[in-house]
Amino acid sequence: MIRQTAAHVRDFRRQVHGLALACAAAAMLLPAASQAKDIVVSNWGVNLYGVIYAVGVEKGIFKEFGAPVTGAIGAPGGGSVMRAMLANEIKFGEIATSAVMDAQVKDLPIVVIAATARSNDNAWYVRKDSPIKSLKDVIGKKVAYTSPRSITEAFERMIFERAGLDASKITLVAAGGYPQGLTLLETGGVDVAAMAEPLKTRKAASYREVFNAQDNLPLMTAVLAVTTKEYAAKNGDLLRKILAARQKAVQWVYAHPEEAGKIMAKAYNMQEAESVACVQNVVKMKQKLWLEGDIDVSELTPMQRGLALTGVKLDKVDWKKLIDVSYLPADLKAKSKLSK
């Protein structure tokens, strides 16, 4: 996950403040039963997961399906997003698969109701004058990742393992975030640094890609839609409306990447040309980043292996007990694969 830089944090706070004012105004004008709500999305305004909600709200898709969603709020990632979801009025959130696994091991009463995104936009770069030409050349080198036990660390360790490289001969450096990794790369602190969108669109042309997640890893669902068992039991119809609207929003983004990029620019406080290019780049990827919602357990178990390589013990995760596809649209229920 991309950690928030100081500028991102300021932008994020302005967005949250604006959303709070909007919600306060709505509360004065609307009866309680029809008030619109925000939902929790990991790294809203920083990485690409929230684009679907920005589009769904802007194009009136949530309203069309009767889902009272007018915005999103977020947290930097992992357990902080889980806590934000549990404290939110609408207990629905898009949360990293690693945090979901951890919550299940800790016996939190959560349920997974949709698969929402991959992180296959991750790629690893060197300076253009670097002698590193291929993945095998990273032996004896320093490689940056975001933070300990993060998706980027898990991905790196999985890529090295699958390539038959001895990870003990590669020095992994926790940079604190993708931008910080690039700073280390520029100053010689590391030899290789990771990037993901939208940073890739902004910065990749200044570097040379050596390897990436898309070509070196199996399909893996990195983000899941989660609620609590109690909330699902009482609010099933609302969850179905949100997931149906979200499915249409995903389809709309893939069909209209240029307009989706313009919507992203407004929601994320980005330059329009950059956000349009970012969405267009993602839409062209061989593997889809944004998922409509159907769940494939075979995309979850590899993530367990990756996190195990970072030292996270997740052997007790029981996906069959954790997943409930009954809130998905009928076509997505039929497509879901709940056994390995």
* Residue that finishes a domain, picked among 216, 233, 268: 216
- Within 8 A by CB and 6+ apart from 128, the residues are 206, 207, 208
Quote the domain boundaries for residue 247: 6-119+220-335
Per-residue pLDDT at 147: 84
* Residue that finishes a domain, picked among 157, 187, 216: 216
1 part of a folded domain:
no
Q: What gap in Å lies between CA 37 and CA 34, rounded to an integer?
A: 9
Q: Mind giving me the DSSP string for 233-294? A: HH-HHHHHHHHHHHHHHHHHHHH-HHHHHHHHHHHHT--HHHHHHHHHHHHTSSS-SB--S-
Amino acid at position 62, single letter: F
Q: Is residue 39 domain-shared with residue 175, that is, in the same domain? A: no
Per-residue pLDDT at 78: 60
Q: Strand, coil or helix: what is 195?
A: strand
Q: Is residue 41 domain-shared with residue 16, that is, in the same domain? A: yes
Q: Is residue 166 domain-shared with residue 142, that is, in the same domain? A: yes
164 part of a folded domain:
yes
Average pLDDT over residues 22-29: 34
The residue count of the chain comes to 340
In eight-state DSSP terms, residue 122 is: -
Q: What is the pLDDT of residues 167-178, one digit of tens each?
A: 999 999 999 889
Q: Is residue 210 domain-shared with residue 224, that is, in the same domain? A: no
High-pLDDT (> 70) share of the chain, %: 87
Q: What gap in Å lies between CA 319 and CA 340, rounded to an integer?
A: 10
The yes-or-no verdict on residue 228 having pLDDT over 60 is yes
Per-residue pLDDT at 72: 84
Query: Is beta strand 171-174 parallel, antiparallel or unpaired with respect to 142-145?
Result: parallel
* Residue that finishes a domain, picked among 198, 216, 234: 216
Residue 126's alpha-carbon distances to 73, 94, 113, 280, in angstroms, are 34, 32, 39, 24
211 part of a folded domain:
yes
Return the CATH number at 165.
3.40.190.10
Q: Is residue 257 domain-shared with residue 112, that is, in the same domain? A: yes
Q: Is residue 101 domain-shared with residue 211, that is, in the same domain? A: no
340 part of a folded domain:
no
Per-residue pLDDT at 311: 84
31 part of a folded domain:
yes
Per-residue pLDDT at 76: 59
Per-residue pLDDT at 77: 58
Q: Is residue 68 domain-shared with residue 87, that is, in the same domain? A: yes
Rounded to the nearest integer, the mean pLDDT of the chain is 86
Total domains in the chain come to: 2
| Verdict on whether the full-model pTM lies above 0.85 | no
The yes-or-no verdict on residue 24 having pLDDT over 50 is no
| Chain centroid, CA 223 distance in Å | 5
